[in-house]
Amino acid sequence: DEVDRLLIGVPWCQSGWDQDQGRCYLFSRANQTWEAARNSCLAQNADLVVINDQMEQNRTMSRVYWLGLSDQKVESQWLWVDGSPLKLSFLSTGEPNDSSNEDYGTMAIDGCWNDINCYMTDYWICKKPWFCYSLTELTTLDLASQCSNH
């Protein structure tokens, strides 16, 4: 029960969000452009998903989704929405190819990544850290320690 989790300070995600490995994920049920999808995530104190490891790649692949990946600022310099450069990659063979000015990363059903243009619409994944609450008075350090232990 949610109240019990709040009382003991267990990590928690909002209703409708999936919890995994210290992160909350929201899988959209509608299609939007990359910019509109990112704005939807930002409005919920989240951002488009940044894939940091194989486990996260496996967790998020299931259908076509926007990734928080773009080379919009500098062509061929792919950056995640958090500003970090693309290091780990699951790009399809021959991608990114910038066909028709494609500047935004997307994940296909098979988990392979592709670049597509800003006029396309796709589902998207929002990601943010999970919440940790406690109803007892704790210092910030105590709360951080309590949350990191769960």
Residue 56: pLDDT band with limits 50, 70, 90: confident
- What pTM was computed for the model? 0.74
CA angle 83, 129, 102 (to 5 degrees): 35
- Domains of the chain with bracketed CATH: 23-131 (3.10.100.10)
Task: Write out pLDDT tens, residues 127-145.
Answer: 998 876 555 554 444 444 5
Q: Which segments within 28-64 are labelled E, that is strand?
A: 47-48
| The predicted structure's pLDDT at residue 54 | 86
Which is more confidently placed, 143 or 51?
51
Helix (H, G, I), strand (E, B) or coil at 69: strand
**Most confident by average pLDDT, 1-5, 10-14, 74-78:** 74-78
